[in-house]
């Protein structure tokens, strides 16, 4: 069973997405901000990370940077998820190492397809 770490500061969104991912057959852990997300990514080493960008304590941009600079986690695909629809935020997330970007509200079917595409690719 593939492991997904979902990093999101809004409890309702975090819980709903975690339930949907579990129903999709994934083992899921959640983190409420980038700081906890980096810690869980390092200790649990998921197969893929879904990362909100705007969060307290440590935002998703900084978390992506830290995850991609750690030898243990640098090859984990990251999909950035944000309410920010501007191309600037997407570009920044991709430049820092995210493989993809989704704007909220997320099309769950499209997200599941994208997750499965990245899970089938060899580690980079």
| pLDDT tens digits, one per residue of 25-41 | 999 999 999 999 999 99
CA-nearest of 30, 37, 27, 31 to 2 is 27
Entry pTM: 0.94
Res. 123: pLDDT tops 70: no
Q: Which residues pair with residue 3 across a beta bridge?
A: 27
Helices vs strands, H then E, count in the chain? 5, 5
pLDDT in tens, 69-93: 999 999 999 999 998 767 888 899 9
Q: Domains (ranges, CATH) in the chain?
A: 3-120 (3.40.50.2300)
Res. 122: pLDDT tops 90: no
Residue 88: per-residue pLDDT: 87
């Amino acid at each position: 069973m593939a492991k997904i770490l979902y990093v999101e500061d809004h409890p309702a969104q975090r819980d709903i997405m975690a339930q949907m991912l579990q129903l999709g057959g994934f083992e899921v852990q959640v983190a409420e901000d980038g700081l906890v997300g980096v810690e869980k990514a390092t200790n649990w080493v998921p197969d893929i990370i879904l990362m909100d960008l705007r969060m307290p304590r440590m935002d998703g941009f900084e978390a992506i940077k830290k995850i991609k600079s750690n030898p243990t986690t640098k090859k984990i695909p990251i999909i950035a998820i944000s309410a920010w629809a501007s191309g600037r935020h997407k570009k920044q997330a991709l430049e820092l190492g995210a493989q993809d970007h989704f704007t909220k509200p997320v099309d769950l079917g499209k997200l599941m397809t994208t997750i499965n595409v990245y899970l089938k690719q060899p580690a980079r």
